[in-house]
Protein backbone atom coordinates (compact mmCIF):
# COMPACT_ATOMS: atom_id res chain seq x y z
CA UNK A 1 0.00 0.00 0.00
CA UNK A 2 1.19 3.55 -0.74
CA UNK A 3 0.71 6.39 1.69
CA UNK A 4 -0.38 9.85 0.50
CA UNK A 5 3.19 10.79 -0.43
CA UNK A 6 3.45 7.55 -2.48
CA UNK A 7 6.16 6.20 -0.17
CA UNK A 8 5.58 2.52 0.62
CA UNK A 9 4.75 2.13 4.32
CA UNK A 10 7.32 0.13 6.24
CA UNK A 11 6.13 -0.69 9.77
CA UNK A 12 8.63 0.51 12.40
CA UNK A 13 10.00 -1.98 14.94
CA UNK A 14 7.61 -0.67 17.60
CA UNK A 15 4.21 0.81 16.83
CA UNK A 16 3.70 4.25 18.37
CA UNK A 17 0.40 6.11 18.65
CA UNK A 18 1.59 9.48 17.45
CA UNK A 19 -0.97 10.69 14.93
CA UNK A 20 -4.69 10.66 14.25
CA UNK A 21 -5.43 8.13 11.50
CA UNK A 22 -8.16 10.22 9.89
CA UNK A 23 -10.68 7.37 9.98
CA UNK A 24 -14.35 7.85 10.74
CA UNK A 25 -13.97 7.05 14.45
CA UNK A 26 -10.43 8.35 14.82
CA UNK A 27 -11.39 10.79 17.56
CA UNK A 28 -12.59 8.02 19.90
CA UNK A 29 -10.02 5.34 19.13
CA UNK A 30 -7.29 4.90 21.73
CA UNK A 31 -4.74 2.13 22.32
CA UNK A 32 -5.47 2.01 26.06
CA UNK A 33 -8.48 0.89 28.11
CA UNK A 34 -10.24 2.50 31.05
CA UNK A 35 -12.18 5.63 31.93
CA UNK A 36 -11.30 9.09 30.65
CA UNK A 37 -13.65 10.94 32.99
CA UNK A 38 -15.73 10.52 36.15
CA UNK A 39 -19.43 10.21 35.56
CA UNK A 40 -21.94 7.87 37.14
CA UNK A 41 -24.49 6.05 35.01
CA UNK A 42 -28.09 7.17 35.41
CA UNK A 43 -30.51 4.66 36.92
CA UNK A 44 -34.24 4.51 36.25
CA UNK A 45 -37.18 2.77 37.88
CA UNK A 46 -37.21 -0.53 36.00
CA UNK A 47 -35.49 -3.85 36.85
CA UNK A 48 -33.25 -3.70 33.78
CA UNK A 49 -31.02 -0.76 32.90
CA UNK A 50 -29.64 -0.67 29.38
CA UNK A 51 -26.87 1.69 28.25
CA UNK A 52 -26.70 1.63 24.49
CA UNK A 53 -27.08 3.12 21.02
CA UNK A 54 -29.06 1.79 18.04
CA UNK A 55 -26.15 0.30 16.13
CA UNK A 56 -26.65 -3.33 15.02
CA UNK A 57 -25.11 -4.52 18.31
CA UNK A 58 -27.37 -2.24 20.32
CA UNK A 59 -30.50 -3.17 18.37
CA UNK A 60 -30.04 -6.85 19.21
CA UNK A 61 -30.71 -6.09 22.87
CA UNK A 62 -33.61 -3.67 22.47
CA UNK A 63 -35.32 -6.12 20.10
CA UNK A 64 -34.78 -8.88 22.68
CA UNK A 65 -36.25 -6.77 25.48
CA UNK A 66 -39.27 -5.80 23.37
CA UNK A 67 -39.78 -9.46 22.41
CA UNK A 68 -39.67 -10.46 26.09
CA UNK A 69 -42.22 -7.79 26.98
CA UNK A 70 -44.43 -8.84 24.06
CA UNK A 71 -44.36 -12.37 25.49
CA UNK A 72 -45.73 -10.99 28.78
CA UNK A 73 -42.52 -10.93 30.85
CA UNK A 74 -43.11 -7.90 33.06
CA UNK A 75 -39.70 -8.38 34.65
CA UNK A 76 -38.17 -7.36 31.33
CA UNK A 77 -39.28 -3.75 31.75
CA UNK A 78 -36.30 -1.58 31.07
CA UNK A 79 -34.87 1.89 30.97
CA UNK A 80 -32.77 2.44 27.85
CA UNK A 81 -30.22 5.22 28.31
CA UNK A 82 -28.42 6.75 25.36
CA UNK A 83 -24.64 6.34 25.21
CA UNK A 84 -23.31 8.55 22.48
CA UNK A 85 -20.09 6.81 21.46
CA UNK A 86 -19.06 9.66 19.16
CA UNK A 87 -18.89 11.89 22.24
CA UNK A 88 -16.81 9.33 24.15
CA UNK A 89 -19.61 8.51 26.62
CA UNK A 90 -18.42 4.88 26.63
CA UNK A 91 -15.31 6.04 28.51
CA UNK A 92 -17.12 7.42 31.55
CA UNK A 93 -16.23 5.76 34.86
CA UNK A 94 -19.82 4.55 35.22
CA UNK A 95 -19.91 2.94 31.79
CA UNK A 96 -16.50 1.33 32.23
CA UNK A 97 -17.87 -0.14 35.46
CA UNK A 98 -20.69 -1.75 33.43
CA UNK A 99 -18.40 -2.75 30.55
CA UNK A 100 -14.62 -2.63 30.99
CA UNK A 101 -14.40 -2.98 27.18
CA UNK A 102 -16.07 0.45 26.69
CA UNK A 103 -18.47 -0.61 23.97
CA UNK A 104 -22.23 -0.51 23.82
CA UNK A 105 -24.44 -2.35 24.68
CA UNK A 106 -24.15 -2.86 28.45
CA UNK A 107 -26.93 -4.11 30.70
CA UNK A 108 -27.31 -3.89 34.47
CA UNK A 109 -29.87 -6.19 36.05
CA UNK A 110 -31.09 -4.42 39.17
CA UNK A 111 -33.81 -6.97 39.96
CA UNK A 112 -31.37 -8.95 42.10
CA UNK A 113 -29.93 -8.00 45.50
CA UNK A 114 -26.48 -7.32 44.06
CA UNK A 115 -26.95 -5.77 40.59
CA UNK A 116 -25.47 -7.90 37.81
CA UNK A 117 -23.62 -6.28 34.92
CA UNK A 118 -23.59 -7.99 31.51
CA UNK A 119 -21.60 -6.83 28.50
CA UNK A 120 -21.11 -8.24 24.97
CA UNK A 121 -24.39 -8.34 23.07
CA UNK A 122 -24.32 -12.14 22.68
CA UNK A 123 -23.85 -12.60 26.43
CA UNK A 124 -26.71 -10.18 27.09
CA UNK A 125 -29.05 -12.10 24.76
CA UNK A 126 -28.16 -15.39 26.42
CA UNK A 127 -28.45 -13.93 29.93
CA UNK A 128 -31.95 -12.60 29.18
CA UNK A 129 -33.06 -15.78 27.39
CA UNK A 130 -31.99 -17.87 30.38
CA UNK A 131 -33.40 -15.44 32.94
CA UNK A 132 -36.84 -15.54 31.31
CA UNK A 133 -36.64 -19.11 29.96
CA UNK A 134 -37.55 -18.23 26.41
CA UNK A 135 -36.23 -17.60 22.89
CA UNK A 136 -33.57 -20.26 23.38
CA UNK A 137 -34.42 -23.94 22.86
CA UNK A 138 -34.22 -26.35 25.80
CA UNK A 139 -33.81 -29.48 23.68
CA UNK A 140 -30.02 -30.10 23.69
CA UNK A 141 -29.66 -30.55 19.92
CA UNK A 142 -31.72 -27.48 19.10
CA UNK A 143 -29.96 -25.50 21.79
CA UNK A 144 -26.59 -26.49 20.33
CA UNK A 145 -27.74 -25.29 16.90
CA UNK A 146 -28.94 -21.99 18.37
CA UNK A 147 -25.70 -21.46 20.33
CA UNK A 148 -23.63 -22.30 17.28
CA UNK A 149 -25.32 -19.60 15.22
CA UNK A 150 -25.25 -17.11 18.08
CA UNK A 151 -21.49 -17.54 18.44
CA UNK A 152 -21.11 -17.60 14.65
CA UNK A 153 -22.59 -14.14 14.61
CA UNK A 154 -20.33 -12.84 17.36
CA UNK A 155 -17.27 -14.16 15.56
CA UNK A 156 -18.35 -13.18 12.05
CA UNK A 157 -19.75 -9.66 12.39
CA UNK A 158 -16.35 -8.02 13.02
CA UNK A 159 -15.42 -9.01 9.45
CA UNK A 160 -18.56 -7.26 8.25
CA UNK A 161 -18.36 -4.13 10.42
CA UNK A 162 -14.70 -3.76 11.35
CA UNK A 163 -13.49 -5.26 8.08
CA UNK A 164 -15.77 -4.57 5.12
CA UNK A 165 -17.64 -1.58 6.61
CA UNK A 166 -14.48 0.04 7.87
CA UNK A 167 -12.43 -0.23 4.70
CA UNK A 168 -15.29 0.27 2.21
CA UNK A 169 -17.05 3.16 3.96
CA UNK A 170 -15.01 4.66 6.81
CA UNK A 171 -11.29 4.47 6.03
CA UNK A 172 -9.86 7.76 4.72
CA UNK A 173 -8.22 5.93 1.81
CA UNK A 174 -9.62 3.11 -0.32
CA UNK A 175 -7.28 0.13 -0.14
CA UNK A 176 -8.13 -2.42 -2.82
CA UNK A 177 -6.45 -5.30 -1.00
CA UNK A 178 -8.43 -4.70 2.21
CA UNK A 179 -11.75 -4.13 0.44
CA UNK A 180 -11.28 -7.27 -1.67
CA UNK A 181 -10.39 -9.36 1.33
CA UNK A 182 -13.43 -8.34 3.38
CA UNK A 183 -15.90 -8.15 0.47
CA UNK A 184 -14.99 -11.77 -0.30
CA UNK A 185 -15.48 -12.83 3.31
CA UNK A 186 -18.79 -10.99 3.76
CA UNK A 187 -20.17 -12.49 0.53
CA UNK A 188 -19.12 -15.91 1.80
CA UNK A 189 -20.86 -15.27 5.13
CA UNK A 190 -24.03 -14.11 3.37
CA UNK A 191 -23.92 -17.30 1.33
CA UNK A 192 -23.56 -19.37 4.50
CA UNK A 193 -26.75 -17.78 5.78
CA UNK A 194 -28.49 -18.01 2.43
CA UNK A 195 -27.87 -21.74 2.23
CA UNK A 196 -29.04 -22.23 5.79
CA UNK A 197 -32.21 -20.18 5.29
CA UNK A 198 -32.99 -22.07 2.08
CA UNK A 199 -33.75 -25.12 4.23
CA UNK A 200 -34.81 -23.55 7.52
CA UNK A 201 -37.48 -20.94 8.26
CA UNK A 202 -35.38 -19.42 11.05
CA UNK A 203 -31.67 -19.60 11.71
CA UNK A 204 -31.78 -22.34 14.35
CA UNK A 205 -34.80 -24.25 13.01
CA UNK A 206 -38.55 -23.80 13.01
CA UNK A 207 -38.60 -21.31 15.86
CA UNK A 208 -37.47 -17.72 16.18
CA UNK A 209 -34.61 -17.55 18.71
CA UNK A 210 -31.81 -15.35 19.99
CA UNK A 211 -29.78 -16.54 17.00
CA UNK A 212 -32.18 -14.65 14.70
CA UNK A 213 -32.14 -11.65 17.03
CA UNK A 214 -28.32 -11.56 16.94
CA UNK A 215 -27.91 -12.07 13.20
CA UNK A 216 -30.78 -9.96 11.85
CA UNK A 217 -29.46 -6.44 12.59
CA UNK A 218 -26.15 -7.19 10.87
CA UNK A 219 -26.82 -9.60 8.05
CA UNK A 220 -30.50 -8.76 7.55
CA UNK A 221 -29.44 -5.13 7.37
CA UNK A 222 -26.65 -5.92 4.92
CA UNK A 223 -28.88 -8.10 2.70
CA UNK A 224 -31.44 -5.28 2.57
CA UNK A 225 -28.69 -2.85 1.55
CA UNK A 226 -28.99 -0.75 4.73
CA UNK A 227 -25.35 -0.97 5.83
CA UNK A 228 -22.41 1.02 4.50
CA UNK A 229 -24.23 1.76 1.21
CA UNK A 230 -22.59 -1.47 0.10
CA UNK A 231 -25.64 -3.31 -1.23
CA UNK A 232 -24.95 -2.89 -4.92
CA UNK A 233 -21.22 -3.45 -4.47
CA UNK A 234 -21.85 -6.82 -2.83
CA UNK A 235 -24.86 -7.61 -5.08
CA UNK A 236 -26.90 -8.47 -2.00
CA UNK A 237 -30.09 -9.11 -4.02
CA UNK A 238 -28.58 -12.54 -4.79
CA UNK A 239 -29.20 -13.69 -1.22
CA UNK A 240 -32.91 -14.28 -1.68
CA UNK A 241 -33.41 -16.55 1.32
CA UNK A 242 -31.70 -14.06 3.63
CA UNK A 243 -33.95 -11.33 2.24
CA UNK A 244 -37.09 -13.48 2.78
CA UNK A 245 -36.06 -14.06 6.41
CA UNK A 246 -35.01 -10.43 6.98
CA UNK A 247 -38.34 -9.15 5.66
CA UNK A 248 -40.30 -11.52 7.86
CA UNK A 249 -38.42 -10.51 10.99
CA UNK A 250 -38.70 -6.81 10.16
CA UNK A 251 -42.50 -7.14 10.36
CA UNK A 252 -42.50 -8.29 13.98
CA UNK A 253 -43.99 -5.55 16.19
CA UNK A 254 -41.27 -6.04 18.83
CA UNK A 255 -38.59 -5.65 16.18
CA UNK A 256 -40.21 -2.49 14.89
CA UNK A 257 -40.18 -1.06 18.41
CA UNK A 258 -36.75 -2.37 19.37
CA UNK A 259 -34.97 -0.85 16.39
CA UNK A 260 -36.27 2.62 17.34
CA UNK A 261 -34.77 2.62 20.84
CA UNK A 262 -31.60 4.71 21.32
CA UNK A 263 -31.73 5.68 17.63
CA UNK A 264 -30.34 9.12 16.88
CA UNK A 265 -30.27 8.99 13.09
CA UNK A 266 -32.79 8.61 10.30
CA UNK A 267 -36.36 9.90 10.03
CA UNK A 268 -37.61 11.49 13.26
CA UNK A 269 -40.53 9.09 13.57
CA UNK A 270 -38.05 6.18 13.81
CA UNK A 271 -36.03 7.73 16.66
CA UNK A 272 -36.66 7.11 20.34
CA UNK A 273 -33.54 8.46 22.03
CA UNK A 274 -34.36 6.99 25.43
CA UNK A 275 -37.02 4.53 26.46
CA UNK A 276 -38.37 4.56 29.99
CA UNK A 277 -41.95 3.48 29.42
CA UNK A 278 -43.87 1.48 26.82
CA UNK A 279 -45.88 4.61 25.98
CA UNK A 280 -42.68 6.44 24.96
CA UNK A 281 -42.93 4.93 21.47
CA UNK A 282 -46.01 7.02 20.79
CA UNK A 283 -45.56 10.09 22.96
CA UNK A 284 -41.89 10.86 22.45
CA UNK A 285 -41.85 10.38 18.71
CA UNK A 286 -44.99 12.54 18.40
CA UNK A 287 -43.30 15.24 20.53
CA UNK A 288 -40.26 15.18 18.25
CA UNK A 289 -42.34 15.43 15.10
CA UNK A 290 -44.31 18.33 16.57
CA UNK A 291 -41.13 20.13 17.67
CA UNK A 292 -39.64 19.67 14.18
CA UNK A 293 -42.86 20.94 12.60
CA UNK A 294 -42.89 24.05 14.76
CA UNK A 295 -39.34 25.12 13.93
Ligand X SMILES: N[C@@H](CCC(=O)N[C@@H](CS)C(=O)NCC(=O)O)C(=O)O
The residues that touch ligand X, with contacts defined as CB under 6 A, are 28, 55, 57, 85, 90, 102-105, 120-121
- Comparing CB distances to ligand X, the nearer of 171 and 289 is 171
Q: Shortest gap between Cβ of 158 and ligand X (angstroms)?
A: 7
Using CA atoms, how far apart are residues 242 and 11, in angstroms rounded to an integer?
41
Contact 83, 52 (CB under 8 A): yes
Instruction: Tell me how far, at minimum, the Cβ of 256 lies from ligand X, in Å.
Output: 20
3-state secondary structure of 69: helix
- Is the Cβ of residue 30 or residue 43 nearer to ligand X in the bound state? 30
CB of 71 to ligand X, least distance (A): 23
Minimum gap (Å) between residue 61 Cβ and ligand X: 9
Q: What is the DSSP string of 224-273?
A: TT-STT-TTTTTGGG-HHHHHHHHHHHT-HHHHHHTTBT--SS-GGG-BS
| Residue placing its CB nearer to ligand X in the complex, 91 or 239 | 91
Distance CA 67, CA 45 (A): 20
CA distance 127 to 118: 8
What residues are paired with 52 via a beta bridge?
A: 82
Provide the minimum distance between the beta carbon of 85 and ligand X in the complex, in angstroms, as a whole number.
4
Look at the alpha carbons of 101, 54, 142, 73 in this order and tell me if their dihedral is positive or negative.
positive
- Spatial separation of the C-alpha atoms in residues 260 and 19, rounded to whole Å: 36
Q: How far is Cα 295 from Cα 277, in angstroms, rounded to an integer?
A: 27
Between 46 and 60, whose beta carbon lies closer to ligand X?
60
CB-wise, 44 or 105, nearer to ligand X? Answer: 105
- Taking the complex as a whole, how short is the minimal distance between the CB of residue 164 and ligand X, in angstroms? 14
| Residue (39 or 288) nearer to ligand X, CB | 39
Amino acid sequence: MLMDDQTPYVPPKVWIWNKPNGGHFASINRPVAGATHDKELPRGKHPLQLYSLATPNGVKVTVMLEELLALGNEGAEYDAWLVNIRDGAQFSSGFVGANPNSKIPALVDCSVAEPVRVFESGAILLYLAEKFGTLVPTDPALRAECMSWLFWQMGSAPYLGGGFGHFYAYAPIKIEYAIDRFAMEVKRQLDVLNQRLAISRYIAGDDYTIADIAIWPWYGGMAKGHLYEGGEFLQVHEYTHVIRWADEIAQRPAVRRGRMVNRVMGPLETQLHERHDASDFETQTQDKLQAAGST
